[in-house]
Structure 1
Amino acid sequence: MKKISELLDAAAGGALPVVRGIDDSRLEDPTPCAEYDVRALISHLVQVVVNFTALAARKDADFGETPDAVVGDWRRRFGEETAALVEAWAAPGAEEGTAGSMGFPARTVGQMVLGDLTVHAWDLARATGQEFVPDADVVDEIAPALAGMAPRAREAGMFGEPFPVPDGASPFARVLALTGRDPGWQPSRA
């Protein structure tokens, strides 16, 4: 079993080129997350990364108001924040016990941010016309983890109802569908 930090490093490696590849002209474009345009989804993802860095260090996280993260050199900052996330989860003991006020096992908390980073990287790639292929080990880790979290995540409004996919769908398409996403989503053309 790979460490969460190794998996997060792979997931960040896939997400960074997507974030760096977002042109400012695309910030108001829709994403597969109906409640977020590209700018809002970037801000949400940065907030998730920062908060789960804190949770790895057993600090409190603030998921309240989402500040606009698309200011200054936001692409560089995203790289710095994901590097800090990987480092926090690589610290000795980060995967042991429970993390933060959530009371979940630390590895489960790590799987949550791994899922968010991977799925939202796909969301941003789809919204901005970029390619995104997640790391196979990351998908192997998040598929059963997110399946276990799905009922609670749906109750909390974080996942939509499962999207139907054909029997031969890829493991990542199944992950996307589990979260309520259409793996074939494309931005509408004006």
Structure 2
Amino acid sequence: MTDQTLFTDAVDLAVATIRGAAAGRYADPTPCSDYTVADLVNHLAFGFLLAHHSATREPWPESWTADSRAPFLRDLPEPEWAAAAEKEGAAAAAAWADPRVWEGESHLGGGPMPAAAIGAMMTGEFVVHAWDLAVATGQPFSVSPALGDAALEAMSGMASMGREAGWIGAEVPVDPAAPALDRALGVSGRDPAWRP
């Protein structure tokens, strides 16, 4: 399975969980202790936009900040967020579908980084946050073995940096024989058994 296919699958998974999260549950808690369901939907939506700009190598406007609402959601009522997020997710997936986008360097809001590392990191982010949203809203959730492996590799690669920066929690011990998704969740500070 190609990196491009895995990226698209991760976006599709995240979009499906956003679609499955009723706006009436937007105040509910999630495994991300600082995020409600609404915050998590916004975070995924913003992630689609950031990934899109990384693929096209467009600079990020200075008005974008890590804790602000995704620009395309700012003036929309919450029941319209899913459709808007789906549109931006499709744009990001289409941009990363070109194998040439994975070559050379791009950015993720800061200095230059290998584009392939950004694509892999965002693939993992979309998978684990899709899980967050699914369990928070009572949706079924499964991934292919390949996508689980991709999430584990991505989370393992960025966990140390994320912990130092404070945006990934302490690792949760998970059985080494557990599925790759569960191990990815543990590495990224999530308890695979978490429920609301």
Q: State the TM-score, normalized to the length of structure 1.
A: 0.90
Report the CA distance between 1:147 and its aligned residue.
1.0
Task: Find the counterpart in structure 2 of residue 27 from structure 1.
Answer: 26
Number of residue equivalences: 186
Matched, 1:141 2:143: no
Q: Secondary structure at the match of 1:93?
A: helix
Separation in 2, partners of 1:178, 1:80: 30
Amino acid at match of 2:2: K
**Aligned partners of 2:187 and 2:57: how far apart in 1?**
29
Q: Which among 70, 90, 104 is matched to residue 97 of structure 1?
A: 104
Q: Measure how far apart 1:146 and its partner are.
A: 2.1
Higher alpha-carbon deviation: 149-158 or 90-99:
90-99
- Say if 1:162 and 1:178, in contact at 8 Å, map to a contact too: yes
Q: 1:169 aligns with which of 170, 174, 178?
A: 178
State which drifts further: 85-94 or 52-61.
Answer: 85-94
1:84 to 2:91 alignment: yes
Quick one: structure 1 residues 110 and 127, their matched pair in 2 at CA, closer, same or farther if it must change by over 3 Å?
same
Q: Distance in 2 between matches of 1:58 and 1:176?
A: 30
Check conservation: 1:51, 1:63, Cα contact below 8 A: no
Instruction: Give unmatched runs, 5+ long, in structure 2.
Output: none
TM-fit CA distance, 1:92: 5.1
Separation (CA, whole Å) in 2 of partners of 1:63 and 1:112:
19
Query: Identity rate of aligned residues, in percent?
Result: 36
Instruction: Give me the whole-angstrom Cα distance separating, in 2, the residues matched to 1:166 and 1:65.
Output: 34
Q: Sort the Cα spacing of 1:184 and 1:65 in 2 relative to 1 into closer, same or farther, 3 A.
A: closer
Runs of 4+ residues deviating >4 angstroms: none
Alignment correspondent of 1:110: 119
- Equivalent in the alignment of 2:42: 43
Q: Where does structure 1 lack aligned partners over 5 or more consecutive residues?
A: none
Name which of structure 1's ranges 67-76 and 83-92 shifts more when overlaid on structure 2.
Answer: 67-76
Distance in 2 between residues matched to 1:102 and 1:2, nearest whole Å: 26
Superposed displacement of residue 63, structure 1: 3.9
Taking the aligned partners of 1:64 and 1:176, their CA distance within structure 2 comes to 22
1:156 aligns to what?
165
What do the CA deviations read for 1:106-143 (whole angstroms, capped 9, x no partner)?
Answer: 01100111111111110000000111112322222232
Change (3 A) 1:116 1:63: farther
Distance 1:39 1:164, change over 3 A: same
Q: Distance in 1 between matches of 2:176 and 2:114?
A: 32
Q: Deviations over 1:127-186 (max 9, x none)?
A: 001111123222222322321221111111121111011243211100000000000000
Quote the Cα distance in structure 1 between the aligned partners of 2:144 and 2:68. 28
Does the CA-based 8 Å contact 1:11-1:135 persist in structure 2? no
TM-score normalized with structure 2 length = 0.88
**RMSD, aligned CA:** 1.7
